[in-house]
Amino acid sequence: MGGGPGGLYAAALLKRLDPTREVTVWERNAPSDTFGFGVVLSDETLGGIRDADPVVYEALGRDMVRWDDIDVVHRGHRTTSTGHVFAALGRRRLLEILHARCADLGVRLRFRTEAPPADVLAAGHDLVVAADGVHSRTRETHADHFRPTITTHRCRYIWLAADFAFDAFRFETAETEYGVMQLHAYPYGPAASTAIVEMREEVWRAAGFDELDEAESTVRCAKIFAEALGGRELRSHRSAWTAFRTVVNEHWSHGNTVLIGDAAHTAHFSIGSGTKLAVEDALALAHSLRDHPDPTEALTAYEAERRPVVESTQRAATASLRWFEELAGHVDRPPRRFAFDLLTRSRRVTHANLRLRDPAFTATVERDFGCPPGTPPMFTPFRLRGLTLRNRVVVSPMDMYVAEDGVPGDFHLVHLGSRALGGAGLVMTEMVCVSPEGRITPGCTGLWTDEQAAAWARITGFVHAQAPGTALGVQLGHSGRKGSTRRMWEGIDQPLPEGNWPLVAASPLPYRPGVNQTPRALDRAGLTTVREEFTAAARRAAHAGFDLLELHCAHGYLLSGFLSPLTNHRTDAYGGDLAARLRFPLEVFDAVREVWPEERPMTVRISATDWAEGGTSDEDAVAIARAFAAHGADAVDVSTGQVVPDEAPAYGRSYQTPYADRIRNEAGVPVIAVGAISSWDDVNSLLLAGRADLCALARPHLYDPHWTLHAAAEQDYEGPAAPWPAPYRAGRRPPPTGRRN
């Protein structure tokens, strides 16, 4: 059902693998009808086509145009990056090739004919392939089984074409009086190019595109991007402004009916994956049916193989889509940094593979960043107030839950000491609680007694003596309504079986109703007490020798509970609008800053989103960061979530970094990025793109305490930003593996 590239190619492959099969394609449009102009296929996809059907591969090869360059044009400056391999051809030509191949193989093609409903077809056929597109009738009819989620995004775009060939894949921004607009253009023939114009919905309306017809929109777009087009016209073909929709389905098959292509999943056009995914779906489906004669088994195997690949592509596409949605926040970057940021937006292209593809371009970006010769970005120093960090790697705060009465012991000495010896520029403690009632669990560390301060001084003394140049930071916090729970491995967020202590919070809202206790809302006296507990802990932290102090205002703990509208329902001066919700956290920050040594930096960790409807918005997060910066915060540690239990995070590689990026570039404050940053390549990419100043990693440092030193060794770096401790120098090269004769 559906005669687009995915449906046609699936039909051809199924018939080719078994000529006795009767295969019919139903397509409601005429053979020559098509949407869009050019399609891009990767070498990987073409390789799969070559192996599955050399006839189609050879036909495609005769019409494909190939190029290596990407041009990024920004504020009159064109930056070219090479080494990117693209192959494209006209969508109409692709359909002609597939029509001919289907006809040669004996596939029945029924054009201008609406397919019967899928359940009707399923009753008389062994298999129904629903390739009926983003508006799939099959998916909607059986939504109770496929369980689709469709997200409409914030930009409008239109597919147009130009009757000449761009000499590269071209991205160009136009900063108009209405807002920022974007051109995505690429050649697909000797004298033909696709030109997609995209902009935020509010820019589209302000520019009056909502009142223009197809022809008027086409002329207007050509005028806006006249320089890119050399004054030439654009043309349209049933082109309409639309908002991209991301389609996700919980299930891809229902009985003997299976969804492929846009019916099953969509990926934003900015990573060129729509046709690619559909063709790869067809390949995988055909192979599954070859290997599993039973259709039910084949469809199960097909989905098991394809779903991880598709989900990875969709994550990359979502990152790319969001980058273009937030384009206005990127345009103030210098041209080469802007280009690097654009090229790495999806996280599939990184610093490391750009160095392989285009070493000259990457070297210029590194020089612009300030990398000394031979120094990776992550090993460039960074200054916060009176503290210079020798590199950009932070060991993120990680609760260990093994303290006795709040006193850190030998475990903490070894845990933090080993990470300090491992080369990170800054090592952070776990959340150190300011009072017994402010603990999360009985195993949390504290700084409410001099005994605890003395134990911390033992650890800072070790780090400063044995890992000179490593900074040690303390994170101060209060658990609020999330306190009095078991250690993580005994039942996360579950109350203690006995010995629970009373909780306080911004509002009397239990973390999990019916599970966690209801906290007492802090009154004026309680607010004063908590503020004084923070200042007393800060004084002890200073005397204990910590180099940096971070105020924990994230993850639903006490101060975070004041910031989020989901957890702060107060009607006094500390509740209501954002300015009021900020009041108490800022009072605590000011009190701590007053007693914390002037030359030592202070940072603040925030949850930039609650991942829940009605929670902290992107705009709120920027405003919160601005407020703390105005009160003297030297950097903002940008995390997300853990504020309410019914959150729905969009997990993925570096999934929290877009929030850090926005805060850094809108609020103008240094940021620490955190959240599934796992490789040194990610760290280098985030820094060079201007999305972060420092990168905090947690689990990688649990896996490898010497993560930073090993990152240096893997990049052949032996400079002052990653010195090996003298006793460890013999191990600064990976040991040989296997036998050597």
Burial degree of 671 (CB within 10 A; 0-12, 13-18, 19+): buried
Per-residue pLDDT tens digits for 95-136: 999 999 999 999 999 999 999 999 999 999 999 999 999 999
CB neighbours of residue 436 within 10 Å: 15
Q: How far lies 142's CA from each of 198, 252, 416, in Å?
A: 32, 11, 54
Examine the domain organization and report whether 297 and 420 are in the same domain: no
Q: Name the band, by pLDDT with cuts 50, 70 and 90, for residue 52.
A: confident
Half-sphere exposure of 380 (CA within 13 A, CB side): 18
Examine the domain organization and report whether 389 and 505 are in the same domain: yes
From 35-49, 112-126, 319-333, 637-651, the region with the lowest mean pLDDT? 35-49
User: What is the rounded average pLDDT of the residues 646-673?
Assistant: 93
The number of domains in the chain is 2
Contacts of 679 (CB under 8 A, 6+ apart): none
What one-letter code names the amino acid at 152?
Answer: T
Examine the domain organization and report whether 267 and 413 are in the same domain: no
User: What is the rounded average pLDDT of the residues 45-72?
Assistant: 91
User: What is the rounded average pLDDT of the residues 166-174?
Assistant: 96
CATH code at position 409: 3.20.20.70
Q: Is the residue at 471 inside a domain?
A: yes
In angstroms, rounded to a whole number, what is the distance separating the alpha carbons of residues 246 and 311? 12
In angstroms, rounded to a whole number, what is the distance separating the alpha carbons of residues 104 and 574? 74
Q: Is the residue at 337 inside a domain?
A: no
Per-residue pLDDT tens digits for 494-534: 999 999 999 999 999 999 999 999 999 999 999 999 999 99
pLDDT at res. 462: 97
CB 171 within 8 A of CB 292: no
CB 641 within 8 A of CB 663: no
In angstroms, rounded to a whole number, what is the distance separating the alpha carbons of residues 64 and 158? 24
For the entire predicted model, the pTM comes to: 0.91
In angstroms, rounded to a whole number, what is the distance separating the alpha carbons of residues 49 and 605? 49
CATH code at position 288: 3.50.50.60
Examine the domain organization and report whether 474 and 611 are in the same domain: yes
CB 695 within 8 A of CB 687: yes
Among 661, 692, 190, residue whose Cα is nearest residue 392: 692
Q: Name the band, by pLDDT with cuts 50, 70 and 90, for residue 615.
A: very high
Tokens of 698: 């947690």
Examine the domain organization and report whether 395 and 479 are in the same domain: yes
Q: Which of these is catalytic: 557, 574, 659, 717?
A: 557
In angstroms, rounded to a whole number, what is the distance separating the alpha carbons of residues 375 and 390? 12
Q: With helix as H, strand as E and coil as C, how does 34-61 read?
A: CCCCEEEECHHHHHHHHHHCHHHHHHHH
In percent, the amount of the chain with pLDDT more than 70 equals 99
Domain extent for 171: 5-328
Element (H, E) at 10: helix 5-17
Radius of gyration of the chain, Cα coordinates, nearest whole angstrom = 29
Q: Is the residue at 154 inside a domain?
A: yes
Tokens of 724: 């090996």
Q: Name the band, by pLDDT with cuts 50, 70 and 90, for residue 740.
A: low
Examine the domain organization and report whether 428 and 309 are in the same domain: no
pLDDT at res. 436: 97
CB 53 within 8 A of CB 67: no
pLDDT above 80: residue 263: yes
pLDDT at res. 739: 58
Q: Name the band, by pLDDT with cuts 50, 70 and 90, for residue 205.
A: very high
What one-letter code names the amino acid at 714?
Answer: E
In angstroms, rounded to a whole number, what is the distance separating the alpha carbons of residues 553 and 637? 10
Q: Is the residue at 664 inside a domain?
A: yes
Examine the domain organization and report whether 54 and 122 are in the same domain: yes
Residue 128, strand partner residues: 257
Tokens of 72: 């990024």
From 32-36, 200-204, 333-337, 635-639, the region with the lowest mean pLDDT? 32-36
- The dihedrals phi and psi of 517, each to the nearest 5 degrees, come to -70, 160
pLDDT at res. 732: 82
pLDDT above 70: residue 741: no
- The dihedrals phi and psi of 199, each to the nearest 5 degrees, come to -165, 160
Sheet holding 179-189, edge to edge: 77-81, 70-74, 169-176, 179-189, 192-200, 148-162, 242-249
Q: Name the band, by pLDDT with cuts 50, 70 and 90, for residue 730.
A: confident
Q: Is the residue at 348 inside a domain?
A: no
Query: Kind of pairing, strands 242-249 and 253-254?
Result: unpaired
Q: Name the band, by pLDDT with cuts 50, 70 and 90, for residue 657.
A: very high
Among 93, 114, 121, 137, residue whose Cα is nearest residue 23: 121
Examine the domain organization and report whether 252 and 393 are in the same domain: no
Q: Is the residue at 671 inside a domain?
A: yes
User: What is the rounded average pLDDT of the residues 653-679?
Assistant: 93
Examine the domain organization and report whether 317 and 383 are in the same domain: no
Burial degree of 648 (CB within 10 A; 0-12, 13-18, 19+): exposed
CB 453 within 8 A of CB 545: no
CB 417 within 8 A of CB 463: yes
DSSP 170: E
In angstroms, rounded to a whole number, what is the distance separating the alpha carbons of residues 42 and 133? 21
Query: Kind of pairing, strands 65-67 and 694-697?
Result: unpaired
pLDDT above 60: residue 726: yes
pLDDT at res. 588: 98
Q: List Cβ<8 Å contacts ≥24 apart for 612-616.
A: 612/566, 612/643, 612/644, 612/646, 612/647, 612/648, 614/565, 614/566, 615/564, 615/565, 615/566, 615/643, 615/644, 616/563, 616/564, 616/565, 616/643
557 classed as catalytic: yes
CB 423 within 8 A of CB 712: yes
User: What is the rounded average pLDDT of the residues 610-638?
Assistant: 97
Examine the domain organization and report whether 460 and 543 are in the same domain: yes
In angstroms, rounded to a whole number, what is the distance separating the alpha carbons of residues 512 and 644? 8
In angstroms, rounded to a whole number, what is the distance separating the alpha carbons of residues 339 and 336? 5
Q: Is the residue at 609 inside a domain?
A: yes
Q: Name the band, by pLDDT with cuts 50, 70 and 90, for residue 735.
A: confident
pLDDT at res. 157: 97
In angstroms, rounded to a whole number, what is the distance separating the alpha carbons of residues 105 and 481? 67
Q: With helix as H, strand as E and coil as C, how does 441-508 read?
A: CCCCCECCCHHHHHHHHHHHHHHHHHCCCCEEEEEEECCHHHCCECCHHHHCCCECCCCCCCCEECCC
pLDDT at res. 437: 96
Instruction: Say which residue the tokens 């916060």 belong to.
Output: 384
- How wide is the angle at C-alpha 346 spanned by C-alphas 360 and 637, nearest 5°? 95
Tokens of 120: 């009707």
Residue 395, strand partner residues: 427, 697
Q: Name the band, by pLDDT with cuts 50, 70 and 90, for residue 27.
A: very high
pLDDT at res. 715: 95
Examine the domain organization and report whether 539 and 660 are in the same domain: yes
Examine the domain organization and report whether 582 and 689 are in the same domain: yes
Among 328, 350, 369, residue at a domain's last position: 328
Q: Name the band, by pLDDT with cuts 50, 70 and 90, for residue 653.
A: confident
End-to-end CA distance of the chain: 61
- How wide is the angle at C-alpha 98 spanned by C-alphas 94 and 102, nearest 5°? 170
pLDDT at res. 738: 66
What one-letter code names the amino acid at 20?
Answer: T
Mean of pLDDT over the chain: 95
Q: Is the residue at 368 inside a domain?
A: no
